[in-house]
Amino acid sequence: MKVVKFGGSSLATAAQFEKVLNIVVSDPARKFVVVSAPGKRFVQDIKVTDLLIECAEKTINGENNHELIEAVLERYRNIADELKLPIEFIQELHKDLLELLNRDITNKNRFLDAVKASGEDMNAKLVAKFFQSRGIDASYFSPKDAGLLVSDESGNAQVLPESYERLYTLRKIPGIIIFPGFFGYTKNGEVATFSRSGSDITGAILANGLKADLYENFTDVDAVYSVNPMIVHHPVEIRELTYREMRELSYAGFSVFHDEALIPAFRAGITVNVKNTNNPTAPGTKIVHKRDNTNGPVVGIASDKGFCSIYVSKYLMNREVGFGRKLLAILEEYGISYEHTPSGIDDISVILRQNQMDQYTEQDILERIKTELLADEVKIEHDLALIMLVGEEMKQNVGTAARATKALANAGVNIEMINQGSSEVSMMFGVKQASERKAVKAIYEEFFAVVPV
């Protein structure tokens, strides 16, 4: 039995709906279908979820939202018209959306969650109605009725353990079940959404709860690529990678999956198969617990921008008990999280996302570190990009770091920071943002385009 998830680009138009139907009915094992809200139809288009968020914000601010309501409904109306579904169905969606927008807005976060989750909910109803119109035994199922319980954390809900046992009972229901992604219900009966790309999380939760044999995640690419195709043209496709590798790559900038999305499937030992709605016969990429290391030490390269590094130097720092804790406590007081802390005997760097601080907060922090910790030197380096090399075989391979640093040197890229050893499956380099693309290309050429002598 398979759980199948379709992303927003797979459900953006009536033509895409037809593809989804053909994919689902081509395999009797595809019994549970998780859907996102309609995504972009073309590059300049706006996702339905973004329209709903703007609509909710205007409602909260007491502004006119009629045009946005019409824009949302027009997306569903166009799909329904092309699929020749009854107009009464869209009228029902319109009524439900208006009722939702007229709810109490005292708790703004809860209101926003309910509105933005409605995109997936309406689309699940639309997909079910379409399947039924083609004579297929299919039904919409609400996360509330299914027992998908989540923590009361708006925009960052976590599945509650008791959900899995409740979800398993869905196996008894005949026909194909269409399930909206992105949200669940609190114990108080309120909608709470997962973080963005949360439909991937819903799919993994269902796969776990239903004890699926496979979780198929359909998107708009043939496979997970070894590097961002916007940086390197026609990069190598990855046929198989481990959960650990996928999580490291997702964290470091890969956009195929949210970095938390696979955890429920991982815990249940379920293989995930990334496939293309527009080319469903392509094998895609399988994400597994263990794989044969046949592709060299590096399976993928990811990068992300917008970081800065706070460098602190103090003689005999290594002998001062509690120095690191005191340093991080200062950041904690400002509500700032950090990413990495590479260190030496007399110095330490804290890598963090620089959008967490304005210039005044930054100056306060630097001054406090210098005066409270009696540091010899404190400075900050802005506009860094982090480049992550990922691969299970790296821990058994000699010379990976040497090859990477040599490639960067040959490309004229200065390395601001190296973090190796904190993870067995990854190695990180910090470079200036302006050098990011050049650095990624150089490393890719070293590990994927050039056969080592």
Q: What CA–CA distance (Å, rounded) separates 414 from 407?
A: 11
The per-residue pLDDT for 453 is 41
Q: What CA–CA distance (Å, rounded) separates 274 from 220?
A: 10
Question: What is the average pLDDT value for the chain, to the nearest integer?
Answer: 93
Buried b (16+ CB within 10 A) or exposed e, 229-249: eebbeebbebebbbbbbbbbb
Is the separation of the CB atoms in 387 and 428 below 8 Å?
yes
Is the separation of the CB atoms in 354 and 306 below 8 Å?
yes
Q: What CA–CA distance (Å, rounded) separates 307 from 45?
A: 29
* Residue 319 CA: distances (Å) to CA of 316, 325, 370: 6, 13, 18
The per-residue pLDDT for 120 is 98
Is the separation of the CB atoms in 275 and 26 below 8 Å?
no
The per-residue pLDDT for 425 is 87
The per-residue pLDDT for 248 is 85
Beta bridge partners of 34: 5, 179
224-225 and 237-238 beta bridge pairing: antiparallel
Q: What CA–CA distance (Å, rounded) separates 435 from 420?
A: 20
Q: What CA–CA distance (Å, rounded) separates 330 from 204?
A: 37
Is the separation of the CB atoms in 323 and 314 below 8 Å?
yes
Q: What CA–CA distance (Å, rounded) separates 367 from 361?
A: 10
Q: pTM value?
A: 0.86
Backbone dihedral region for residue 285 (phi beyond 0: left; psi -120 to 50: alpha; all else: beta): beta
Beta bridge partners of 431: 385
Question: Which string of DSSP letters, residue by residue, matches 376-411?
Answer: SEEEEEEEEEEEEEE-GGGGG-TTHHHHHHHHHHHT
The per-residue pLDDT for 388 is 93
Three-class SS state of 329: helix
Three-class SS state of 220: coil
pLDDT digits (tens, 9 = 90+) for 46-60: 999 999 999 999 999
**Among 295, 316, 309, which residue's Cα sits nearest to residue 392?**
295
The per-residue pLDDT for 397 is 78
The per-residue pLDDT for 452 is 44
Surface-to-core class of residue 298, CB atoms within 10 Å of its CB (0-12 exposed, 13-18 middle, 19+ buried): buried
Q: What tokens does 340 get?
A: 């990495």
Q: What CA–CA distance (Å, rounded) separates 277 from 221?
A: 8
Q: Say which residue the tokens 């406090």 belong to.
A: 368
List of the chain residues with pLDDT < 50? 451-453
Beta bridge partners of 304: 386
**C-alpha torsion 84→88→89→90, nearest 10:** 90
Q: What CA–CA distance (Å, rounded) separates 431 from 356?
A: 20
Q: What tokens does 144 get?
A: 């509330």
Q: What tokens does 432 get?
A: 């200036």
* Residue 442 CA: distances (Å) to CA of 225, 355, 404: 16, 28, 8
N- to C-terminal Cα separation, the chain: 46
Domains of the chain: 2-288 (3.40.1160.10), 300-449 (3.30.2130.10)
Three-class SS state of 52: helix
User: What phi and psi, each to the nearest 5 degrees, are found at residue 14?
Assistant: -60, -40
Q: What CA–CA distance (Å, rounded) separates 397 from 290?
A: 17
User: What phi and psi, each to the nearest 5 degrees, are found at residue 401?
Assistant: -65, -40
The per-residue pLDDT for 420 is 75
